[in-house]
Structure 1
């Protein structure tokens, strides 16, 4: 049986267990694929967080559903960060950066922490247009005239998150992503 580290990952109890900025409006709506509801994050650099005392030196599976909450935006940037501090106080952070489309999409992946962490967190955000991140590597020394495979994220808008979970998985279950 997997150990679940997030509480209220489907927001069925509103923002219980989640920290949000004062005055934040989550604009809850039913999550169409199951129980619970979705939360809307505007591209105003708002971060919603859940704090976890400890995470083991283990492989964890993170899963969530996301979509662009603005019908005029085909793809909207989102960031989920999972991290904490080791015994020496150094930050260990794993960012998950992606594009939310107009349709609900399910994301699942693995995060491996080489050492146990304390004072851990999971942050959800939809960055504003001041945030820039290359979504793929580019070779700036290339002399070719071909189209670059590098793309700078240009769509900033609200995203909806639902059905979040962060679980410890057995080694035998590792590398079985959806």
Structure 2
């Protein structure tokens, strides 16, 4: 083999080793591949979009697995590998974040906010919200209206988005592909 053909191969190789990794593998270190133990970004975005689109409804593991196009057992394991929390813990965090945003806006009654965020009833919502923020929903809304500092929402067992996977959460919120996938999933 001539030097010239070897140069051509080197030039055609992707600059980013992650692009050369086989499907279902992650690149670690100096181009070393290992099987991935989490959902790919596309599946994670689809699941996130599904959760947001159906937040006020009852969402089960089977529904989320269907959005990711896999069995529920495989999905639950892969989701935890991607986010370091269970799908239901992540869903609870999204519901609490949504409720906190609606409370801060101060335009709706607490009972309506509870239902819009997917809680069974106002009592369950108030208990969960207080456990996760240290404030009742009414106290939280009052502090927001007065311009006072409010504690961040921390879902039980996972904390804030950094405990979930802040990059996935932020990318899904800001990504233009997210809007297209939301329309497809809904």
Scaled by the length of structure 1, the TM-score of the pair is: 0.26
Q: Which has the higher contact order (CA 8 A, sep 6+)?
A: 1
More helix by share: 2
Kindly indicate which of the two structures has a greater share of residues assigned to strand: 1
